[in-house]
Structures are given as structure tokens and as C-alpha cells.
């Protein structure tokens, strides 16, 4: 089962990082030990001091955390990093509030979101690759440290996987050659959309107790959340 993080719940502090999967050998007399990387690692996150003030926010937090069942179910969430996206002429990375064809919105009063950044995969690449060519239709300058997502179809469902540029891209006309981590979880094809505007990934609660809600004076709370990348996102 998969849940989407609610836009009504926003943290004041965000930490996303790749946790390396390293093995360390015995320590020598000089205090050094050999480090061997078994894999490039997986995403972990600490989201702190959420603003939970209204009855609606309290109920949304309770229901969402319960639905995740201590890490049993998946959560699709982004790194809250829109200010670092390669925006064009200072325009917002995404435009929200877009309605259905009949003018209605979703049940939570939100609408569709549309990206102002247009980037696609420029050439096929296999799983485990850390290099990719991109075709740029509309985007600001791509820079080291930016996140992006490529969605893939898995067992009939679209699954997001997030990556980060680790080197300064090499540009040639409307194309860019990039290096990134972690390695591609699955193969990608030319023309696949590359989402720099609103990156997402699939995560789980890091432990059974993550997301506890301590409501002070029965009115407000500032909970935190520990997450780790889901196995469903790794494969």
C-alpha cells in the first residue's frame, strides 16, 4: 500500500542524504582501517519541527502515520527542495491549483501541478549507470547538488526514484551529460521525463515509533520524522 505525503504538513528543518553501504576492516596500529563500498547506498531523511497547529493538521498527521504501519507501507514524499530547482527566469518550479476539465478540484481542495521545467532522457541507459545524457527543452542551469526523479512502471504502478547530481554537468547545445548517485535503480529510455521541479522518492518509516505526536495543551505539536528509502524504490 502506498500513501502520498500531505502538502498541509511542512517541516521547518529537512535533512536528506545518501547513507553509504560501507564495510570497514580491522583498525591498524596507526588508527586507520580500510573502507570497502558494497553499494552507493540509499536515501535516509530526518524531517524536524513540523508545524502542526490546526485540528485538520493533527488529524491528517495521525491518519497518515497510522497508515504507514511503522514502516510496513510505502510513502511517496519529496525533499522539500523547490528553491534549488533549475528554475527558468525565477518562475516557480511548478504551477499548482490546476482544475479538472469541469473546473473541480480534488477532495482536499488541491488541483493538479504542472512543471515549468522540461527535461527528458536523451539516450537509453541501463540499471546501475551513474551517467546520463539529458535533452533540455526548458530549464535553468543544471548544477551539482540538485535532485531529480525518474518515474518507472513497476507491477502496474508508477514508482519514483530520486537521484542527485554529483558533478558539474557538461553542456552541448540543448543537451547535458550528467553524473549522479545513487546508480540508476532500473533502466531508463530516451524520452523518459526527468523531474527536477518536484522530485519524489519512495520511503518508509525508519522504525515502529517514528512519527509520534505529542500534542501540547491539547492544541499544537512540532513532531519530527525519520525515514529511509523503501526496498520497493531500490529495485
What SS3 state is found at 193? strand
Q: What is the pTM of this model?
A: 0.84
Which residue in this structure is represented by grid cell 582501517?
Answer: 33
Average pLDDT of the segment spanning 222-234:
87
User: In 10 A of CB 7, how many CB atoms?
Assistant: 11
Q: What is the pLDDT of residues 34-66, one digit of tens each?
A: 666 667 789 999 999 999 999 999 999 999 999
Sequence-ordered list of residues with C-beta below 8 angstroms from that of 116, at least 6 positions apart, any chain = 87, 88, 91, 92, 93, 94, 95, 138, 197
Of 39 and 165, which is predicted with more confidence?
165
Q: What is the pLDDT of residue 49?
A: 94
User: Which residue ranges make up each domain of the chain?
Assistant: 1-25+33-78+202-235, 84-199
Q: Which fold has domain 84-199?
A: Elongation Factor Tu (Ef-tu); domain 3 (2.40.30)
Q: What is the pLDDT of residue 93?
A: 67
Average pLDDT of the segment spanning 208-222:
86
Write out the three cell numbers for 37.
Answer: 563500498
Q: Given pLDDT bands bounded at 50, 70 and 90, which one contains residue 214?
A: confident
Q: Given pLDDT bands bounded at 50, 70 and 90, which one contains residue 229?
A: very high
Of 29 and 209, which is predicted with more confidence?
209
Q: What is the pLDDT of residue 98?
A: 43
Looking at domain 1-25+33-78+202-235, which of 3.30.200, 3.40.50, 1.10.20, 1.20.120 is its CATH number? 3.30.200
Q: Assess whether the region 1-25+33-78+202-235 and the region 84-199 belong to the same CATH fold.
A: no
Q: What is the pLDDT of residues 83-128, one digit of tens each?
A: 899 988 876 667 554 444 555 544 545 545 678 899 999 999 999 9
Amino acid at each position: 500500500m502506498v500513501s502520498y505525503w500531505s502538502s498541509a504538513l511542512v517541516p521547518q528543518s529537512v535533512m536528506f542524504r545518501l547513507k553509504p553501504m560501507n564495510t570497514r576492516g580491522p583498525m591498524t596500529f596507526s588508527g586507520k582501517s580500510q573502507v570497502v563500498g558494497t553499494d552507493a547506498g540509499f536515501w535516509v531523511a530526518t524531517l524536524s519541527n513540523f508545524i502542526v497547529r490546526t485540528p485538520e493538521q493533527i488529524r491528517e498527521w495521525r491518519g497518515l502515520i497510522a497508515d504507514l504501519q511503522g514502516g510496513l507501507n510505502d510513502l511517496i514524499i519529496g525533499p522539500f527542495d523547490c528553491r534549488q530547482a533549475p528554475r527558468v527566469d525565477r518562475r516557480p518550479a511548478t504551477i499548482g491549483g490546476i482544475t479538472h476539465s469541469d473546473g473541480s478540484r480534488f477532495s482536499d481542495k488541491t488541483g493538479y501541478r504542472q512543471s515549468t521545467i522540461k527535461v527528458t532522457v536523451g539516450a537509453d541507459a541501463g540499471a546501475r549507470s551513474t551517467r546520463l545524457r539529458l535533452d533540455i527543452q526548458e530549464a535553468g542551469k543544471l548544477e551539482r547538488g540538485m535532485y531529480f526523479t525518474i518515474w518507472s512502471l513497476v507491477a502496474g504502478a508508477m514508482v519514483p526514484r530520486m537521484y542527485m547530481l554529483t558533478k558539474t554537468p557538461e553542456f552541448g547545445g540543448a543537451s547535458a551529460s550528467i553524473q549522479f548517485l545513487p546508480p540508476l535503480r532500473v533502466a531508463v529510455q530516451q524520452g523518459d521525463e526527468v523531474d527536477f521541479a518536484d522530485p519524489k522518492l519512495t520511503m518508509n518509516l525508519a522504525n515502529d515509533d517514528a512519527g509520534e505526536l505529542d500534542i501540547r495543551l491539547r492544541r499544537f505539536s512540532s513532531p519530527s520524522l525519520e525515514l529511509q528509502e523503501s526496498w520497493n524504490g531500490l529495485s
